[in-house]
Amino acid sequence: MSERTKLFTAYTFPSGVQLNNRVVMAPMTNFLSNEDGSVSDKEIAYYKRRAEGLGAVITACANVNESGKGFDYEIGAHRDDLIPGLKKLADAIHEQGTKAILQIFHGGRMVPARLVPNQDVLSASAVPALREGSATPRAMTEEEIQQTIVDFGEATRRAIEAGFDGVEIHGANTYLVQQFFSPHSNRRDDQWGGSVEDRMNFPIAVVESVRKAVAKHAKNPFVIGYRFSPEEKEEPGITMDDTLQLVDVLSKQGLDYLHVSLSSFNQGSMRDEGDTKPRITLIQERVGDIIPVMGVGSLHTPDEVEQALSTVPLISLGRELLMEPDWIQKVTEGREEEIRVAMKMKQQEQLVIPEPMWTNINSVPNWFPKDDE
């Protein structure tokens, strides 16, 4: 048994849900669900291959309504008929002794128009994303905003009925919850936009809807997490000062953790190259004594994870678990030198990365180091 004391220390969330250790699987899009949003057998196999030994698995994002579908072959949490498939997924993760957390989201202006009803792309305001080919979204009506808030709560109810141990609200990576908080995508002058405080109203309303669903439907302790991106490159865009104000408020909402979405755990500002203090450190110093903070980003080795756990109490691994599904077992058994550090191009079947996920992840330049073995 490895003697890595931080990594293998159990952890109990404020809700009372306990993890066996401090390492969880990060949410990653996998393109493996059926076309109707139901969980597929190959998706279950993919998660089952990676779940053993982890503290928890956070699934790929699941859309809370039809207008929020952001990817082909995405998990859906927007209809009751999807609950049986979600239950199979939660059960498969539980069979490995691991907690299961469903990430719930709405893609907002980042959805492909072809995936949503009437190609009607919605966002906080009619401002397109700054990327080639982005559609100009339609500003959501008050009724649509209120319904979407309800839909986050209903997706949470379905997660509870399916047997998940928690949900993670996806407020990161430029999707709808972040779009309402961002001064770039939110130009509203009603209660949902304007000052940084008013731009928080939608995210906080989503949190409240999720909390109400948990209070009403959960019979056992149930985790509520919130993921966010600390900054945006756009002008105007989310600044670190904005985010520190946001986490001040989020830390008082009865959440179980804040998940900071970063490409590199210790990265500094993306807005100011001279500001090199890690964003994760700023957030931990601000609210870490109030709410657990989870970090992620290019933590490949057990040494790097152990060191990161000196900053925050929880770590999620993404690409590392794609390249090495047995990461946690090899650390547990003292076989760290056997950990795969590159994507083994001839081991697709052993890695259990089905199509179309295999082709998609290997078509992104420089995402993975690759090994022709």
How do the domains of the chain map onto residue ranges? Answer: 11-371
Q: Where in 230-289 does DSSP place strands (E)?
A: 257-260
Catalytically annotated residues:
175
The answer to whether the peptide bond before residue 128 is cis (omega within 30 degrees of 0) is no
CB 1 within 8 A of CB 328: no
Name which of 303, 262, 299 is nearest 281 in CA terms. 262
- Cβ pair 313, 291 in contact under 8 A: no
| Burial letters 114-145, b for 16+ CB under 10 A, else e | ebbeeeebbbbbebebeeeeebebebbeeeeb
The CATH homologous superfamily to which domain 11-371 belongs is Aldolase class I (3.20.20.70)
| Largest Cα–Cα separation, the chain | 58
pLDDT tens per residue, the chain (373 residues)? 456 789 999 999 999 999 999 999 999 999 999 999 999 999 999 999 999 999 999 999 999 999 999 999 999 999 999 999 999 999 999 999 999 999 999 999 999 999 999 999 999 999 999 998 899 999 999 999 999 999 999 999 999 999 999 999 999 999 999 999 999 999 999 999 999 999 999 999 999 999 999 999 999 999 999 999 999 999 999 999 999 999 999 999 999 999 999 999 999 999 999 999 999 999 999 999 999 999 999 999 999 999 999 999 999 999 999 999 999 999 999 999 999 999 999 999 999 999 999 999 889 888 889 998 7
Burial (Cβ within 10 Å: 0-12, 13-18, ≥19) of residue 307: middle
- 46, containing H or E segment: helix 41-51
pTM: 0.98
Using DSSP's 3-state secondary structure scheme, residue 224 falls into strand
